[in-house]
Structure 1
Amino acid sequence: MKKFIVFLISCILLFTLIVGFASGENLPVPEKKYLITFSNGEMSNAWRWAFVDSMEDWAYKFKKLGPGINYIWTNAGNDSAKQLMDCETLLSMNPDILIVSPNQDEPLDPVIDMANEAGVPLMIVDRSLIRKPVTGTYFTNITQNYTYSGAYQAVYALEWLKDKYGEYKGNIIEVQGIIGASPTTDEYVGIRSIIKYFPEVKIIATGERG
């Protein structure tokens, strides 16, 4: 197993990205020149661009500390088969860690076995895979509760309908994210966990965003 500092550096990279906690000061100094690799699934929205840019910004900060780090990342362009090949390529570099933001959960689940066979620690961010940590070298999944997010969206929609019609009734058209991505699947469940209690509210159409 790789040294604990690798886990710490990676966690700080993701933690500062997600919650904006740390500054560029008082960061742990790498013990050696670590190779950190990142496989990104897609770049289809502004949040995703900010996510990737922040990863690069923090990698640059660590490059200037002690022996520094090497940071290599790939983008699959919303192609799960390509992302799996990207992960294979990154693992062939014998990195100290592989960070993956999967395009879809089921097609990317084999990366767990790939990382375990290579003996490389695996961190999944933003989205999830089918299997959960700890599985082999897959040690953590940094994400949010998208089922709760879906439930919150449903509550917002219900209140909007009540404001418009004076009661909870009306039709909803649902525009989803990438089909097969864990946020889309979990939000689907969350929305319906609330809507089912309001028989006069119907989801009349569901489709993937264009």
Structure 2
Amino acid sequence: MGKLSIEDVQAIRDGIRDGETYQTLADRFDVSRNAIWNIKHNKTHKGIGPDVQRKRVTRKLSRQKKMAICISLRMGESRESIARRLNVSLSTISAVKKESGDDTYGVDVSDITNRKLSEQDAINIRYRLHNGEKAVDLANEYDVSKAHISDIKHYKCWPNAGQPGAVADLNLPGFDISESELNQNVAAERLEFWERLRTGP
């Protein structure tokens, strides 16, 4: 993972403003989607580049691109790979997948089983819910039901996910943010979050 410069952060916020997906930006700057989300929502690097915290970009996909998504899913390509290759978000892929049930795009992929979440996914979901993201948005991104996101939030599944043990609180895999990139407020917030995870809901 590369350390982001001021110019990188400005470019990331410019990219968000122009409608680039988290995945595209994450790949370009060699960071996680979580790091891009933190930059967008001013959790890190606040005040650098344009404020895009409330920026929502809706891009209309062509029927041809939607068909390409369906065909790729049917052939077994991962959602993450499709998102990178076609420069679309994971939530867009989930929406197209659901729409395909009416044979709208010539290939029905609505029956493809949702992917199983990993422990790290559960940790990331709890962190993002804690920071104000909506369950419905996370459900679309991770291609699972809203009820499943709720179960993760309330520790009905993955009850032990997020307990770092011997791993340093600020350097857990999946966040990809070094201490040098965190200001003191974010570090304190992160530590408070891990303490809540350790002690339960």
Q: Same fold (TM over 0.5)?
A: no
TM-score (structure 2 length as normaliser): 0.29
The structure whose residues are more often helix, as a share, is 2
